[in-house]
Structure 1
Amino acid sequence: MPAPSLVAQTTYAELLERAANDAFQDAFADNGSFTAKSINGRKYWYFQTGTGADRSQRYVGPETPELLERIARHKEVREDERERRALVSTLVRSFSFPRPIPEIGDVIAALAKVGVFRLRGVLVGTIAYQTYAAMLGVRLSAGSLQTGDVDIAQFKNVSVAVEDSTPPVLDVLKEVDRSFRAVPHVSDGRRVTSYAAKGGLRVDFLTPHEGKETARPQKLPALNTDAQPLRFLDFLIRDPEPAVILHGAGIYVHVPAPARYAVHKLIIARRRPEGLAKRDKDLQQSEALLAALAEKRPHELKSAWAEAHGRGPKWRQLMLEGLALLAASVRDKLLKTIGAPRSIIPDMDLSFDNPPARYDFSRDVVTFQGQAPGGAVNCAVSREALDDHFGADGLGQDGRLQAFLKHRSRIEEIARAKYLSAPVDEPGGVLVKTSDVDSFSARRAPKRK
């Protein structure tokens, strides 16, 4: 029988495909035709209705094999809402994947219906994070899933280029809840980037800042609203992925790639004041995703990390300082994925305070513990290393343990040098092998701080 996570991911993949087909079918009526335009060397598709002065075009999206297949099947897709509701129910009830509170689900459904995601809006924030549980087939802690906000982002140049638009945002939101009101921007009361309803529900629109940082709102013509510019957002929403919100029959949306989300949260957490609840939530979300991605999507994680790392010294500083705040096991998994040593982490060290040592017969090693930021580190030296370099050849277990104790200081320095300087091989630990004795005796570890 397939593993539960595989069954869950297969179920989610089927729901995603059906939701995508339904969103496409719902967006374009049968009394029209699809036409393509070439813009800057890339082909984009539009849906054309009417003729002459009554002719109009609606943006469909950039050409991809998946889009061409949907266009070909446009008139064949049948309504399957009942089946999709059953899939949503299975994912929520059988696999305990998260769903938004009903009020938020209704808001996202209304925004999706008028074309926010078709026009390349990207759902960001905790509601986007909720989708990664089913997408990756993992459980996410309940504390990191709670929110009363809906955050939607879009590139300003994309918003201009699509040549299509939704109805005014406030009109759409009032169809869901009449108490929604526009919230005047703090720096310019004539502009609106946020909408709030009674009870605390809030919808915010965001856009990457361009050039010199400014707090002035920017117009998003495709979404018929203003948006708050934010730093680092361009990295987050570049190359988003399709996802399904587990509400009703499933809502087809676009969310940041999970690897980008994890790295972005690491950066944002470091920019928030210590002790702020949002900072802790950012770290929880980043930590959970990094642990899952290191196992399930290591190449994507490595690529996202490399892109952010290459954006300059400030980015690197925030990433590494954020990484230092994570659990040691997750930190080490990431370092192993990207092939980096622990010494890149600020203030990283490994120290020893003469802890007890014992011989582990099952592994044929002498084990001892060290201390590093994040907790205890399981250290060991192999039997071959003791035999080849520390005079234990031909001795029994007690003799090997005594050889370790006699040369303890040197072995600990080798363990420290390997722990700090070598690419991570053993998350949460370090094993001194016979080949390490010469390699790390000659190589000096970073000086203690």
Structure 2
Amino acid sequence: MQPISHIYQTVYSELAERALDATFKSDFDLRGRFVIQEVKGRRYWYFDLPEDGTKKRTYVGPVDDEEITRRVENFKDLKADNRERRRLVSTLVREAYLPRAEALTGDIIKALAAAGFFRLRGVLIGTVAYQCYPPLIGVRLPNTAMVTSDADFAQFHSISVAVGDAMPPILETLRAVDETFREIPDRIDGRKTTRFANRAGYKVEFLTSNTGSDDYGGKPTAMPALGGASAQPLRFLDFLIHQPMRGVLLHGAGVPVLVPSPERYAIHKLIVSSRRRMDDDRPSKSRKDVAQATAIIVAMMEQRRGDDVADAFMEARDRWPAWREALLDGLSSIEDGARATVTAGLSRGIVNLGSDPEAYGLKRSANDDDKESELRR
């Protein structure tokens, strides 16, 4: 895979900084003030704004998020430069050949970002998140795995309840982008909606993690922060969206988003690919899952970040037996040549982290034994 020049990685970093600054500036009126509130032993920033003789309080983010706290401290000095950010996006697309979001997808994510989705710790997942990874990893990823006709968003239910804040109605936000968007009532509970679609069939779906009983599977969960939308609870999603990272969607002047870490995204894709392969109407999605996972893992290994992938692999493998079976089934679905590269890299990473690859279902190599001998000296 072709590395991205450090020059363009620097351009991307500048865009990310400016885009978050601009979002922060537009979210908060200079008449208000930031305050700290403690919730369940953790400190959070909130923004108080006088409004019609009352005080409107808006959730901002954790105090221990250095990017948020720095912007709180420098709030009055923040300046947005829309034209310059558009120039940076254009440079990254035309000169660095990084993927630009499809127009409708970009407009939807921009609208949800402006409505507060990412501020409320929502996470962009799925193929649109995959499009954000090349500059974060430092290499160009295959474009064949970037095509999509939907956008998926996730949030922990605990966060949705705890923030004490909410987006405006999701349907209104989507209709401001395309007036043909409509709710798709849930099949089990028609009073709730987790998916929305426009006339052309483009879908927007909201998901949350299911770490409890299988009885919750398929039943939509009310999400207080999501503007009237519910979320579909899914297995394995808690692993995916734990500790997300900041990225920028290359659309317009750049849209700041939260995405899963690339190593978690890749391991999660291997896990869910086996589930989708057993589903008669989803074999193509299973193949795309494996293709995306393979591309990310190989790219990270080329960038000397194989230990990060191995760490995520070990965490998933150490969970329930169903996780182990699904993960190894996903690995077996990788094409032969690439599978050898992936498994060898995972094995090296596991050794580097002080564990035995055989304990994680992988073969040891002579290089692994040499590396372990060096570590013991």
TM-score scaled by structure 2? 0.89
The Cα offsets for residues 323-368 of structure 1, whole Å up to 9 and x where unpaired, read as: 222222223222222235479658xxxxxxxxxxxxxxxxxxxxxx
Which has the higher relative contact order, 1 or 2, with Cα contacts under 8 A spaced 6 or more apart?
A: 2
Equivalent runs, 1:35-434 vs 2, <5 Å: 35-50=35-50, 54-63=54-63, 64-213=65-214, 214-224=217-227, 225-273=229-277, 276-296=283-303, 297-326=305-334, 327=338, 328-339=340-351, 341=357, 345=361, 420-422=363-365, 425=368
Code of the aligned partner of 2:28: F
Q: What is the CA–CA distance in structure 2 between the aligned matches of 1:146 and 1:70, rounded to whole Å?
A: 35
Shift of 1:313: 2.0
Look at both structures and tell me which one has the larger radius of gyration over its CA atoms: 1
Q: What is the CA–CA distance in structure 2 between the aligned matches of 1:51 and 1:271, rounded to whole Å?
A: 50
Code of the aligned partner of 1:102: A
Code of the aligned partner of 1:311: R
Code of the aligned partner of 2:235: R
Code of the aligned partner of 2:55: R
SS at match of 1:55: strand
CA 1:110/1:423 → structure 2, altered by over 3 Å: closer, same or farther? Answer: farther
Shift of 1:312: 2.2
Contact kept? 2:4, 2:140, Cα under 8 Å: no
Contact kept? 1:240, 1:256, Cα under 8 Å: yes
Q: What is the CA–CA distance in structure 2 between the aligned matches of 1:210 and 1:337, rounded to whole Å?
A: 28
The Cα offsets for residues 96-146 of structure 1, whole Å up to 9 and x where unpaired, read as: 111221011011110000101101110000000100012112111121000
Code of the aligned partner of 2:286: R
Shift of 1:421: 4.0
Structure 2 match to 1:401: none
Q: Which runs of 5+ in 1 are unaligned?
A: 347-419, 436-449
Q: What is the CA–CA distance in structure 2 between the aligned matches of 1:85 and 1:423, rounded to whole Å?
A: 51
CA 1:13/1:300 → structure 2, altered by over 3 Å: closer, same or farther? Answer: same
SS at match of 1:15: helix
Structure 2 match to 1:380: none
Q: What is the CA–CA distance in structure 1 between the aligned matches of 2:52 and 2:104, rounded to whole Å?
A: 42
CA 1:4/1:177 → structure 2, altered by over 3 Å: closer, same or farther? Answer: closer
CA 1:342/1:310 → structure 2, altered by over 3 Å: closer, same or farther? Answer: closer
Q: What's the C-alpha RMSD, in Å, of the aligned pairs? A: 2.1
Code of the aligned partner of 1:299: D
CA 1:34/1:320 → structure 2, altered by over 3 Å: closer, same or farther? Answer: same
SS at match of 2:5: helix
Q: What is the CA–CA distance in structure 1 between the aligned matches of 2:218 and 2:15, rounded to whole Å?
A: 39
Structure 1 vs Structure 2: percent identity of aligned residues? 44
Q: Which runs of 5+ in 2 are unaligned?
A: none
The Cα offsets for residues 399-424 of structure 1, whole Å up to 9 and x where unpaired, read as: xxxxxxxxxxxxxxxxxxxxx44465
Code of the aligned partner of 2:20: A
Structure 2 match to 1:17: 17
Code of the aligned partner of 1:25: K
Code of the aligned partner of 1:331: T
The Cα offsets for residues 383-436 of structure 1, whole Å up to 9 and x where unpaired, read as: xxxxxxxxxxxxxxxxxxxxxxxxxxxxxxxxxxxxx4446559xxxx9xxx9x
Q: What is the CA–CA distance in structure 1 between the aligned matches of 2:218 and 2:359, rounded to whole Å?
A: 37
The Cα offsets for residues 266-291 of structure 1, whole Å up to 9 and x where unpaired, read as: 10111122681001000000000111
Q: What is the CA–CA distance in structure 2 between the aligned matches of 1:4 and 1:239, rounded to whole Å?
A: 25
TM-score scaled by structure 1? 0.75
Code of the aligned partner of 1:110: A
